[in-house]
Amino acid sequence: MRELAAHDRPREKLLHAGAGALGDNELLAIVLGSAGSRAGVLTVANAVLQESGGLHDLARASAADLRRVHGIGEARAAQVLAAIELGRRTLLRGAAARVQILRAQDAVIYLMPQFGSRGVEHFGVLLLDTRHRVMRTVVVSMGTLDTSLVHPREVFREAVAGSAAALVLFHNHPSGDPTPSAEDVELTGRLAMAGRLVGIDVMDHVILGDGRYYSFKEAGRL
């Protein structure tokens, strides 16, 4: 980076003009830092963005994905993943805010920042009180959704222990397409039936995609 004029170096540019003046590659270059790489940090940042398909898809990258780029080792991969997670968390509401879930869009606004761009499938539940305010978010399983592993016992254990009055099922589709599969439909019906048996209302099952969602409630399938 010595060949760049001082005002064109990402770090100096940020301090001089503010973070908004930097391009995606320049912001990523600052996250990566310059130590330990023979390749210029901007070159590495550009390669990361190209390999991942741009900044939006970078949020789905794993450490293994990042390490495929020349100049990215374990330390730099960890730095990028930590920065992405910090960005996600800034979009989440404060823990003190008791968010009320009255419709699918409420659940989507609450869940999308944290789970919508995950590169691995997460299945979980929002536990709600009698006024349908969020008590806890519980991730039940991670990885390819295997309906045989998402047992009602696992789903309702936390709900019963926490005296939840209702819950919202959710999971993300890493493909970005929230259209439910046949397995999603079967699982939703099975868990809704279990909820009726234990007296805990399954309000909805929301599938999160790439800026889109599918609600079983809105679709009239729950």
Written as tens digits, the pLDDT of the chain (222 aa) is: 444 544 458 888 888 888 888 888 889 999 998 755 545 888 899 999 989 888 888 888 899 999 999 999 999 999 999 998 888 777 765 555 679 999 999 999 999 988 987 888 999 999 999 999 999 999 888 876 655 567 788 889 888 888 899 999 999 999 999 999 999 999 999 999 999 999 999 999 999 998 899 999 999 999
Residue 153 · residue 199 · CB < 8 Å: no
Distance CA(50)–CA(55), nearest Å, equals 9
Domains detected in the chain: 6-90 (1.10.150), 104-215 (3.40.140.10)
Phi/psi of residue 149, nearest 5 degrees? -90, -20
Q: Are strands 134-142 and 166-172 parallel, antiparallel or unpaired?
A: unpaired
For residue 185, give Cα distances in angstroms to 44, 67, 161, 189: 43, 37, 26, 6
Phi/psi of residue 50, nearest 5 degrees? -70, -45
Distance CA(123)–CA(143), nearest Å, equals 9
3-state secondary structure of 119: coil
Six token digits for residue 46: 């550009």
Distance CA(154)–CA(219), nearest Å, equals 26
